[in-house]
Amino acid sequence: MKILVCISSVPDTTSKINFTADKSAFDKTGIQWVINPLDEFALTKAVKLQESQGASVTIVTVGDAGAEAVMRKALAIGANDAVRINTEPKDSLTVAKEIAKVAQEGGYDLILCGKESLDYNGGAVPAMLAQLLNQPFINASVGLEVNGSEATVVREIEGGKETVSVKLPAVIAGQKGLVEEKDLIIPNMRGIMTARTKTLTVKEPSETDVKVKAVSFDSVPARAQVKLVSADNLDELVRLLHEEAKVI
């Protein structure tokens, strides 16, 4: 079985997000990059399938050379090889089209993604990819088992969960639950060393039809000073919520 895991490289979750002086772009100064946390669940699941089913795991990232440190980390976690499409991601559709090309060339049985990238928050690439490849798509997955050419997936739906079975190849986007937090793999020295020698192929992009562009960015305005209410005076809290905030 061949698995493709789509990895996006995002600012570390503790990062303060700043913009350039003219607000037109994200200011990358001093940012630590990490594997998009939701993709890490997908990657770990793929590595588990590699162990249990002898699958091979390829990762793909659409990004400039700056993304390679994060890709090496994914290789250290256990992916076999990597493909980088050498371009700064522009919009979801161009990213999905670039990945679709890699997917078609490689003929993968299973494509795993995160549900959403924590920088752009498009939540769009996986579904677009499925549509471009004309493969079944399962979003918001919180459980996955593979049996031969079929997968059983647990997904979140409005108001609950459902278990579905799907014929492979398919695109599955997931989050925590694909594996548990405690199952995430911290690369060891050997992993890090071998990752350096694994193949990382760089391909040039071909998509130019950008549909969405960022005009400007704004930080979220800070809240006014908190109003503290004494624990002995909860009547006052109730009054404030009722009369001032008008939320109860």
Ligand X SMILES: Nc1ncnc2c1ncn2[C@@H]1O[C@H](COP(=O)(O)O)[C@@H](O)[C@H]1O
Return left, alpha or beta for 23; rule: phi > 0 is left, psi -120 to 50 is alpha, else beta: left
Please give the span between the terminal C-alpha atoms of the chain, in angstroms, as a whole number: 55
Contact with ligand X (CB under 6 A) among 2, 64, 106, 124: 124
115 DSSP 8-state letter: S
Interface map 30-69 toward ligand FAD (x if CB under 6 A): -------x--------------------------------
The residue within the footprint of ligand X, chosen from 4, 11, 36, 58 (CB under 6 A), is 36
Q: How many CB atoms lie within 10 A of CB 156?
A: 16
Interaxial angle between packed helices 68-77 and 37-53, expressed in degrees from 0 to 180 and rounded to the nearest 10 = 40
Rounded CA gap, 54 and 117, in Å?
28
Q: How many residues bind ligand FAD (CB under 6 A)?
A: 2
Rounded Cα distance between 212 and 197, Å, is: 37
CB of 15 to ligand X, least distance (A): 17
Q: Is 20 in the site for ligand FAD (CB under 6 A)?
A: no
Contacts with another protein, 12-41, as mask; x by CB under 8 A: -xx-xx-x------x----------xx---
**What is 97-111 written as a DSSP string?**
HHHHHHHHHHT-SEE
Which residues in the 51-90 window bind another protein by CB under 8 A? Answer: none
60 binds, among ligand X, ligand FAD, another protein, none (CB under 5 to 8 A by kind): ligand X
Among 37, 114, 169, 177, binds ligand X (CB under 6 A): 114
Of the pair 37, 177, the CB lying nearest ligand FAD is at: 37
Rg of the chain over Cα atoms, rounded to whole angstroms, equals 21
Binding site for ligand X (CB under 6 A): 6-8, 36, 38-39, 60-63, 89, 92, 95, 113-114, 116-117, 120-126
